[in-house]
Amino acid sequence: MLLPITQYGSPVLRTKCAPVTEVDDAIRTLADNMLETMYAANGIGLAAPQVDENIQLVVIHIPDDEEEGESEPMAMVNGELVPVKSIMPLVFINPVLEPYGKKEFFLEGCLSVHNIRANVARPTNVKATLTQLDGSVLEIDCGGLLARCLQHECDHLDGFLFVDRVSSAAKITLAKKLKRLAEQR
Ligand code: NI
């Protein structure tokens, strides 16, 4: 089932999400619906507050062809180097993230911030502990688009949006557009 995507200005996008304490059928159904909604919107990640749920649940699907360069994107997963595509889609709760490495700019967008893209500086790499819905845990160490996407999505769980992380000059440029978005929602 497709879910409405909450838009910039919605209070739920600014709240700190509660951990998921029990994975029941409602959570599993929500995760399925979030995946469907993300795919339909051509997104690569979606966090629960973006569908008006104030809980720590995220879905991610990094497409095969998204990264440039000849070599296939890889990630360390539970101590083993594997292709990023082999762990897609990711569906997880209560993530713990440890970004590291030097910060780089990358053009980000968000399904909850319509028609705005902006350069955001974030660390290039991430160590992440992700609990899947079956209770298994993925210890991931990665760079590239997956590291970027993990940071963007987990920001949502803390009530942060990518537009909070742009330079102060860019914030001034974006202010009018964002005000209009908040009024339109
Ligand atoms: Ni987003």
Whole-prediction pTM: 0.96
Which is catalytic among the residues 22, 36, 66, 153? 153
Give, as residue ranges, everything with CB less than 5 Å from ion ligand 1.
Answer: 110
- Any catalytic annotation for residue 66? no
pLDDT digits over 28-42, tens only?
Answer: 999 999 999 999 999
State the distance from the centre of ligand 1 to the C-alpha of 175, rounded, in angstroms. 18
Task: Return the H-helix or E-strand segment holding 110.
Answer: strand 90-110
Looking at the domain assignment, is residue 1 inside a domain? no
Residue 63 lies in a domain: yes
Per-residue pLDDT of 140-173, as tens digits, reads 999 999 999 999 999 999 999 999 999 999 999 9
Cα(47) to centroid of ligand 1, in Å?
A: 7
Q: How far is the CA of 140 from the centre of ligand 1 (A)?
A: 20
- 3 domain-assigned: no
Residue 67 sits in which domain range?
Answer: 11-184
> Is 117 within a domain?
yes
Query: Does residue 87 contact residue 59 with C-beta atoms inside 8 Å?
Result: no
